[in-house]
Amino acid sequence: MIDVHFVPTPNGHKVSIMLAELDVPHRLIQYNMLAGDHLKEKFRHISPNGKLPAIVDPAPKDGGPPFPLFESGAILLYLSEKHDNAFMPKDLRGRSLAQQWLMWQMAGFGPMHGQAHHFIRYAPEGQDYPINRYRNEAIRLLNVLEQRLHDTAYMAGDEYSVADMATWPWVSAVRAIQVDLEPYPAILRWHAEIGQRPGVQRGTEVTNERNLAKLRPQLNEEEWSNLFGENMLRSGQ
């Protein structure tokens, strides 16, 4: 039974989708980040960066002791490799394309959309420059994805892969940064098709509590500190 240290963010849903698609027994251990659950020292032994999601595999393929993993993209690759390279093309070029687009999501699409979310939804109002900067970059990356999906069924080509799993939850969240997907017909086609997969539906059953699901969540001083401020900073020292 794999333990999944989890919050229902796009990054968290990457991992819960993968486990549901694999039909692997797992347990979601939900964290209250507003209360600072992720700042505890015990969690740092699982996720040195203090970020969610993370997993602990009690039965790694090497037969050794339970193995903790952090970073959502690394978790997807680990689970794929453990399960006979599931959701990874078998040919060299297809496999490389899946890896390239997964890295694109991890290094670009996710972080840039995440920054747009921060400045649009959480930062004190009046932050025009960073809002424009990150929203424009989020849109530019959507244009990159649209062009790719105009040419192929899935991000790595003809096969649904870990790259699609990693990107789909972030595309699902674009409404929160006031982006409409109507100008992106290829993305809409891809998003709707993947959204019909039973594993994707099961993997996204857990959603954020009402406050965090708002377009503009309301945080008190302690909650802000746990997410973005001094409490978060001190926890890594």
For 160-212, how does the pLDDT look when each residue is reduced to its tens digit (9 = 90+)?
999 999 999 999 999 999 999 999 999 999 999 999 999 999 999 988 877 77
Q: In the sheet where 54-57 sits, what is the strand order?
A: 26-30, 2-6, 54-57, 67-70
Q: Give the alpha-carbon dihedral of 152, 191, 98, 25, to 10 degrees.
A: -140
**DSSP H/E element including 70:** strand 67-70
pTM, two decimal places: 0.95
Token output for 150: 């105009």
CA dihedral 24, 30, 58, 235 (to 10 degrees): 140
Query: Residue 141: pLDDT above 70?
Result: yes
Which segments of 7-143 are extended strands (E)? 26-30, 54-57, 67-70
What is the reported pLDDT for 2? 98
